Amino acid sequence: MNSDQIVPLEKNKQTADFESERQNRLLHYQQNEDFKQLSHAWLRTSMHEKYVYNFEWLGRPIIQYPQDIMAIQELVWTVRPDLIIETGIAHGGSLILSASLLALLDFADAIEAGTTLDPKVSKRKVIGVDIDIRSHNRTAIEAHPFAHRIEMVQGSSISEDTIIQVKRAAKDFQRVMVLLDSMHTHDHVTAELDAYAALVTPGSYCVVFDTFVEDMPLNFFSDRPWNVGNNPKTAVQAWLPSHPEFEVDTLLESKLQVTVAPHGFLRRINK
Q: What is the distance between the alpha carbons of residues 74 and 153, in angstroms, rounded to a whole number? A: 26
- Per CB under 6 A, does 100 bind ligand SAM? no
What interhelical angle do 3-31 and 33-48 show, nearest 10? 80
Stretch that binds ligand SAM, among 37-45, 82-90, 193-201, 249-257 (CB under 6 A): 82-90
Q: Distance between CA atoms of 158 and 156, rounded to whole angstroms?
A: 5
- Residue with smaller CB distance to ligand SAM, 47 or 117: 47
The interface region with ligand SAM, picked from 40-48, 175-183, 220-228, 231-239 by CB under 6 A, is 175-183
CA dist., res. 260 & res. 220, Å (int): 14
**DSSP states of 4-73:** HHHHHHHHHHHHHHHHHHHHHHHHHHHH-HHHHHHHHHHHHHHHHTTGGGSEEETTEEE-S-HHHHHHHH
- In the list 98, 122, 182, 234, the residue contacting ligand SAM (rule: CB under 6 A) is 182
CB of 6 to ligand SAM, least distance (A): 46
Binding part of the chain for ligand SAM, among 22-30, 99-107, 116-124, 176-184 by CB under 6 A, reads 176-184
- Give the residue with the Cβ less far from ligand SAM, 174 or 266: 266
Distance CA 85, CA 90 (A): 15
Residues 6 or more apart whose CB falls under 8 angstroms from that of 226 comprise: 184, 185, 186, 210, 213, 232
| Binding range to ligand SAM, per CB under 6 A, among 5-13, 18-26, 89-97, 167-175 | 89-97
Nearer to ligand SAM, 64 or 234 (CB): 64
* 176 phi/psi in degrees, rounded to 5: -120, 135
Which is nearest to 228 in space by CA: 209, 213, 239, 238? Answer: 213
CA angle 257, 258, 264 (to 5 degrees): 85
**Site for ligand SAM contains 157 (CB under 6 A):** yes
Q: By rule CB under 6 A, what string of x and - marks binding of each residue 115-134 to ligand SAM?
A: --------------xxxx--
Residues 48-77 that bind ligand SAM (CB under 6 A): 62-64
Residue 140 is a binding residue for ligand SAM (CB under 6 A): no
Closest distance to ligand SAM from the beta carbon of 43 (Å):
16
Nearer to ligand SAM, 31 or 135 (CB): 135
87 near ligand SAM, judged by CB under 6 A: yes
Which residue from 81, 93, 232, 264 is in contact with ligand SAM, where contact means CB under 6 A? Answer: 93
Question: How many degrees, rounded to 5, is the angle at CA 40 between CA 179 and CA 185?
Answer: 40
Given the complex with ligand SAM, which of 122 and 157 has the nearer CB atom? 157
Which residues of this protein are in contact with ligand SAM, per CB under 6 A?
Answer: 62-64, 87-91, 93-94, 129-132, 156-157, 181-183
